[in-house]
Structure 1
């Protein structure tokens, strides 16, 4: 679903191009930027003249210009000393934004090929490396967080737009139907290109830092967002996702966290091994003469930047005044055409570095042949002080980000006062643009289809009180049921903000049985739309009847998802289960959650799984009443909230889980006692320039004798799609354990090898390896061969008792095929040649990543 949601947000703006059209005015209007064709730096004071008119002008200090004329112009002529004069023909009707490049005099790159000698770079006795080491040595001395407290105000604006949106030249084929679009076109002050904004998010907040005990809190006073991502079911998830992808950069760390990747910082401990450094001539930055330290990666395809660090001349504190960073064009980053970051700093009275501006611009191409996207995240910092905040109790709050109740309710006057930089016309009119676009039938209906893909549910009204879904489970197939049809849905907060229901009804055409689930939930806090919104604090009652796929536990999707219907083996390890569940769930803002559950369950036999004990007695069903405690702690976790599930925005946060299930024999007709404990830990470990490892470690123990259905059944994945925490080549019920330990490691190498192979680096392929192992034990008390009171495992299942050798699988794969596909070759390393289990196989997956 994360893949679908990302794709929807990326493709929706393309609709603006597919159905949109502008016409120019009858007069001439030109705006844009003039840059150097070699360095791409803006050129100030270029003379411009509209031939055929009396209009002309000069570019400003940043190379920008605007020209208007009531007469028709034949061409635009540009001239300035040191550059070749250029003339650009103009059409009859002109309303254009342009980025004009001028070639320096004497430079004819199309006719000259320069082949420099191979550089002999050495970091030994290199003045640039010595200069960098001096900067690193002084980092702690000017760190503002060396103070007991550090406070500041932060304003952040994130915009997404269609890049180079000039229908007069680039998209003239669109026709002349939607003239209103021209009123919403802005000029990027960074690139000088015309852009059409479709998402704008603003946030103003106070940030408070305390050194000991360490704590940092952000109090959001105002928040405003408009754009096409309002079709997603949870706007807060969209905001957090974009803030995580395009987060503000800390160059003083070893790694730069950006685009949900890790780049090597030019101030990293390994910077001198990863980058080449050069000292350049001094330049003036805000009246300070600064030494320029340039840096570039040894291998441009790897995860690093090219850029410059500006340090005031003769400053013994090695204070960084400004830093500029860009991604190399050859870097192995998906969808990225260009990215630049500029940070500026000022020095406080005590010598602390105070970041005043963090400005990032990104140009993206999602699919070939479609328009570029433009993203800008501009953050301004002010109001610095090192005093203990008046609201010091804020440090005792659980959440890191505290959003005021009225943060989204402020009027235009509030934002005019709080914005340190004014908004462009197009930025402030995104809502009007989308309202106009939704009056166009083709855009309206296409947006509804993409909304369905993103959310998985169909709204039945405006506002909707009942949503139908999930759509992906409407039709599926499995061995027991054959063709399975399902209808269902859920009520929303438009019906009640605290009472919610959801459920489904399904039918199997092979077993001719109806299945169902019905749920009623009361939330102790008001919800904005649905019951699963964070934080959950509720009581929930559920009644269900459905098949139970023993030994198959799909953690990231529904078991009846249509994409899991194709399997390598008939799915016959199933029973029928009736259950009534009463549960209490509480989530805290510090990402600690508590769950208490009481479940009465009746397991009914199927034609493949019968309940026969060691004495030969046949039971058509058995009952159990269980009580479960679940504790979960994931400090710093961020996720995308769906209507039925959640997906981590990233896996950086450690996740700890403890689950204990208890069922006393005889209570509520419980046939067998259950006393089972399970622990789980997961985290992503970053290896700087060498990729990252996703690690999962878990284990459990059953303390009482119980039949195999109540023990630990490792998850077997019968589909051909890669599934988390499942074994691709294991059969369901192949192993049954009352004690187990499992590890699941996936190493994403991010092109560490392929980037050095000429053909493969052009394809931007990446390496991925994984290793999964399960060690388990079945004690005599839980082995039906020794304990005749337990149910016998059907011989057709071919269960194997584990020895001291763990079950192991390993895979080697190619990731990033066409930027979204992964293909793995998987090998079974132990317990090979098992009944109906392959020794190797090919598995596929798809996901979106930069």
Structure 2
């Protein structure tokens, strides 16, 4: 800590910066005051503080959780400069002497490194997961709050209308700052573990939630939280937090990633321990700084963990993060986690107070022999077993069953929200934000709506066939009927003057809480679609009517019409396996932009073709996690592998079908992590059409005509540029997480991150499906061609994390560069918000 004292009239300003004695990093939210007075304050997120005093002499006291208290007599009237750092310590300390060394760090012949290698070697010796079975009681509490909600903030225009908010202001036990809780979640559950066959279950006894995030899907929120602030296991090589993987201090890569220091012995909860301190070699890397308090015996048992992110880490929105865990031992030495806490301060923009978040989990009643409830849980297919009444328990129930005390203000979020919603300005603001977040308007009431109107971002769009296109739609909810759901839209094009639409009626065999597509789906759906068909532009992760795709790099004129009548049976299982069986009547209709002209002497025009199809889709995605919305699911983590297999068959003459054909497609998708070196998203697909068919039934690669970055589509390919009846494709994107830029002094301050991508398709067209060599087929539209023996390949180099939300790629087309009217390179952009 560097203290500078300067006189100002009759006052003196005491300034300083508090740092860690080992890491030399600033310590935020540290208490600084003059003993026996009310003068002082807290250090900011840079570890700095400043306050005024009239006293020419005083005793300065500096204290922080996990550090020895520092006390010294200072003389503000004299001026001067004092260098002080805080020494790490812990609760129930007997003695600690910190002697950080300045000499060059070496791994060879370093006793701390040898000690860590022994810990890594024995890290599974007393693991509860080595037991055949265990169960435990869990109480989990999650709080989100507006940070630093002091009197100055309360007077700002955003809050001063709601003066009652002061009644709900609490004080953070970690930072000491005033906070206003805006969301509170609680969970009571029993965790079960079985070694062989491996299985992990959780039986939810009670759950409740209140706060501003009620507008979002609760199933989706639970999944999102589970991959941001999840259970931490330091005994694994990697620790997953905030959708990223961080190198554990006990990782097998630890000695190459961290600097380790053996500090002096101390007492933790009455037991002698050695303080093993660790810091990453590169403070921008995805790791931790902190302390492991290890028992002084041959077991290498970790009694307590205290660690946080390095201050300079290249991580978005997380300004501060601290983890604390406490362990105990069973009679046979088995390691038992007693409690863990994750405290985080989020900031969307710099120089703001941001959001305070704290997740506390308490465990008790470890049992190592299964009882009847456990055996019954393992017989259930779902991983999380939860009754429909889990969220109906009274306050008295919660007071009697919590494993830890909570403050009254922590459990009053629901009352505060009720008061807020009584003000029209907040009520309508919340409604507008909900529409922006979800894309739907609830009707006829906000809570438990019977219908959703939307999606709103598809209301207006356009293309070369329809001109300006308007669309309106909606869907029913489980509050109207928990088993029967309707969904649809009506669209109109002002140029072609045709009405299009979708009508769906779905019966769910499971009772739903809100949406039809809640996991798991077990349903029978009747569907009719009459709309345009944009050949070679089937966006897989957004709607074709999305207004943000309206700006095109080329004219969007590869469009016809299509009608489909389908009956689909879908069944999803908790194992991650699902299947879908569909019978379909399909009619593809030509347009003046895409005419169906037979390649024969007469060059006759065909208005439409019909097929009667039967389709089977198999999908396996074990441990998949996704964010649930009203109309779709978005993965919150791509760590789970996804395998797909689809076969479609059609028979000529059946229900008016014009063609017999078979089409098979297989796919694979997964994210591969390289620890501190980033991760790679891989999507592989292959397919084949086995019969002679016209081009509407061939394989047409997806071209992305917008300036946005869209997965599984080609940024520089024209629509319908290539026709195939068999193909193999890849979409590989490597996110380096700043691995290179973090080593460049000027760039690392921007916290930009590197992205490399490669997309390609290797396809071919057999003679039987080529109108130049086979009669009875439709002539290809102008500009369409076949692939030679060379795959189509485009590569990109990009920068993400620009202003924390933007990704910009520059893409090059490597093959088929001599074709007319193509783009050989270009800039592409997308919103990419990630930690």
Contact 1:50 / 1:77 at 8 angstroms: preserved in 2?
A: no
Residue 612 (structure 1) aligns with: 597
Corresponding residue SS for 2:249: coil
Residue 380 (structure 1) aligns with: 362
Deviation at 1:495, TM superposition (A): 2.2
Contact 2:344 / 2:357 at 8 angstroms: preserved in 1?
A: yes
Counterpart selection for 2:658 from 629, 650, 671: 671
Residue 532 (structure 1) aligns with: 517
What are the Cα deviations for residues 749-786 of structure 1, in whole angstroms up to 9, with x where unaligned? 00000011111111110000111111111111111112
Corresponding residue SS for 1:759: helix
2:520 and 2:727 map into 1 onto residues whose CA distance is 32
Residue 380 (structure 2) aligns with: 397
Deviation at 1:530, TM superposition (A): 2.6
Deviation at 1:679, TM superposition (A): 0.4
Contact 1:36 / 1:43 at 8 angstroms: preserved in 2?
A: no
What are the Cα deviations for residues 272-318 of structure 1, in whole angstroms up to 9, with x where unaligned? 111101111222111112110110011101101100110122x1111
Counterpart selection for 1:224 from 208, 217, 229: 208
2:747 and 2:368 map into 1 onto residues whose CA distance is 51
Counterpart selection for 2:284 from 288, 301, 305: 301
Contact 1:765 / 1:816 at 8 angstroms: preserved in 2?
A: yes
TM-score normalised per structure 2: 0.89
Q: What is the aligned length?
A: 776
Residue 319 (structure 2) aligns with: 337
Counterpart selection for 1:725 from 680, 699, 712: 712
2:34 and 2:135 map into 1 onto residues whose CA distance is 43
Residue 638 (structure 1) aligns with: 625
Residue 739 (structure 1) aligns with: 726
Counterpart selection for 1:510 from 495, 502, 510: 495
Which structure 1 residue ranges, 5 or more long, are not aligned? 1-34, 52-74, 87-100
Question: Any residues of structure 2 matched to 1:73-112 within 5 Å, and which?
Answer: 83=60, 104-105=72-73, 111=81
Question: Any residues of structure 2 matched to 1:40-189 within 5 Å, and which?
Answer: 48=36, 83=60, 104-105=72-73, 111=81, 119-168=103-152, 171=155, 177-189=161-173
Contact 1:324 / 1:341 at 8 angstroms: preserved in 2?
A: yes
Residue 309 (structure 2) aligns with: 327
What are the Cα deviations for residues 502-529 of structure 1, in whole angstroms up to 9, with x where unaligned? 2111111122221111122222222222
2:122 and 2:473 map into 1 onto residues whose CA distance is 62
Distance 1:751 1:79, change over 3 A: farther
What are the Cα deviations for residues 640-692 of structure 1, in whole angstroms up to 9, with x where unaligned? 11111110111111111111100011212211212001001101111100000
1:381 and 1:369 map into 2 onto residues whose CA distance is 37
Deviation at 1:102, TM superposition (A): 7.8
Corresponding residue SS for 2:151: coil
Matching of residue 785 in structure 1 with residue 772 in structure 2: yes
Contact 1:36 / 1:104 at 8 angstroms: preserved in 2?
A: no
Matching of residue 774 in structure 1 with residue 774 in structure 2: no
Question: Any residues of structure 2 matched to 1:750-829 within 5 Å, and which?
Answer: 750-794=737-781, 796=782, 798-829=783-814
Deviation at 1:42, TM superposition (A): 7.2
1:174 and 1:624 map into 2 onto residues whose CA distance is 59
1:434 and 1:788 map into 2 onto residues whose CA distance is 70
1:585 and 1:628 map into 2 onto residues whose CA distance is 12
Contact 1:161 / 1:196 at 8 angstroms: preserved in 2?
A: yes
Residue 5 (structure 1) aligns with: none
2:32 and 2:81 map into 1 onto residues whose CA distance is 27
Deviation at 1:477, TM superposition (A): 1.5
Structure with bigger RCO (C-alpha 8 Å, 6+ apart): 1
1:339 and 1:195 map into 2 onto residues whose CA distance is 16
Matching of residue 286 in structure 1 with residue 273 in structure 2: no
Matching of residue 481 in structure 1 with residue 466 in structure 2: yes
Contact 1:36 / 1:102 at 8 angstroms: preserved in 2?
A: no
Counterpart selection for 1:347 from 316, 320, 329: 329
Corresponding residue SS for 1:723: coil
Residue 342 (structure 2) aligns with: 360
Distance 1:50 1:662, change over 3 A: closer
Contact 1:505 / 1:515 at 8 angstroms: preserved in 2?
A: yes
Deviation at 1:592, TM superposition (A): 1.7
Corresponding residue SS for 1:763: coil
Contact 1:46 / 1:78 at 8 angstroms: preserved in 2?
A: no
Deviation at 1:336, TM superposition (A): 1.5
Corresponding residue SS for 1:134: helix
Distance 1:104 1:708, change over 3 A: farther
Contact 2:57 / 2:73 at 8 angstroms: preserved in 1?
A: no
2:343 and 2:30 map into 1 onto residues whose CA distance is 16
Residue 440 (structure 2) aligns with: 457
2:291 and 2:524 map into 1 onto residues whose CA distance is 56
Residue 550 (structure 1) aligns with: 535
Residue 239 (structure 1) aligns with: 222
Deviation at 1:77, TM superposition (A): 11
1:620 and 1:38 map into 2 onto residues whose CA distance is 77
Contact 1:692 / 1:749 at 8 angstroms: preserved in 2?
A: yes
Which structure 2 residue ranges, 5 or more long, are not aligned? 1-15, 21-26, 40-51, 64-68, 86-99
Residue 602 (structure 1) aligns with: 587
Corresponding residue SS for 2:647: strand
Residue 657 (structure 1) aligns with: 644
Residue 609 (structure 2) aligns with: 622
Deviation at 1:704, TM superposition (A): 1.3
Corresponding residue SS for 2:60: coil
Corresponding residue SS for 1:130: helix
Contact 1:208 / 1:389 at 8 angstroms: preserved in 2?
A: no
2:84 and 2:72 map into 1 onto residues whose CA distance is 17
1:731 and 1:182 map into 2 onto residues whose CA distance is 59
Deviation at 1:78, TM superposition (A): 12
Deviation at 1:180, TM superposition (A): 1.2
1:85 and 1:469 map into 2 onto residues whose CA distance is 56
What are the Cα deviations for residues 200-246 of structure 1, in whole angstroms up to 9, with x where unaligned? 111111111111111111111111111111112x2121122112211
Question: Any residues of structure 2 matched to 1:253-268 within 5 Å, and which?
Answer: 253-268=236-251
Corresponding residue SS for 2:360: strand
What are the Cα deviations for residues 129-170 of structure 1, in whole angstroms up to 9, with x where unaligned? 011112112112111111111211111111100111112577
Distance 1:527 1:123, change over 3 A: same
Residue 584 (structure 1) aligns with: 569
2:350 and 2:545 map into 1 onto residues whose CA distance is 34
Contact 2:34 / 2:59 at 8 angstroms: preserved in 1?
A: no
Matching of residue 700 in structure 1 with residue 721 in structure 2: no
Contact 2:154 / 2:160 at 8 angstroms: preserved in 1?
A: no
Deviation at 1:454, TM superposition (A): 1.2
1:346 and 1:336 map into 2 onto residues whose CA distance is 30
1:428 and 1:750 map into 2 onto residues whose CA distance is 38
Residue 497 (structure 1) aligns with: 482
Corresponding residue SS for 2:283: coil
Residue 43 (structure 2) aligns with: none
Residue 842 (structure 1) aligns with: 827
Distance 1:429 1:790, change over 3 A: same
2:75 and 2:577 map into 1 onto residues whose CA distance is 63
What are the Cα deviations for residues 343-393 of structure 1, in whole angstroms up to 9, with x where unaligned? 111111111111111111001111245431001011111111211232313
Deviation at 1:459, TM superposition (A): 1.4
1:787 and 1:747 map into 2 onto residues whose CA distance is 43
Distance 1:706 1:549, change over 3 A: same
Corresponding residue SS for 2:141: strand
- Of the structure 1 ranges 457-466 and 220-229, higher mean CA displacement relative to structure 2 is found in 457-466
Contact 2:35 / 2:58 at 8 angstroms: preserved in 1?
A: no
Distance 1:828 1:173, change over 3 A: closer
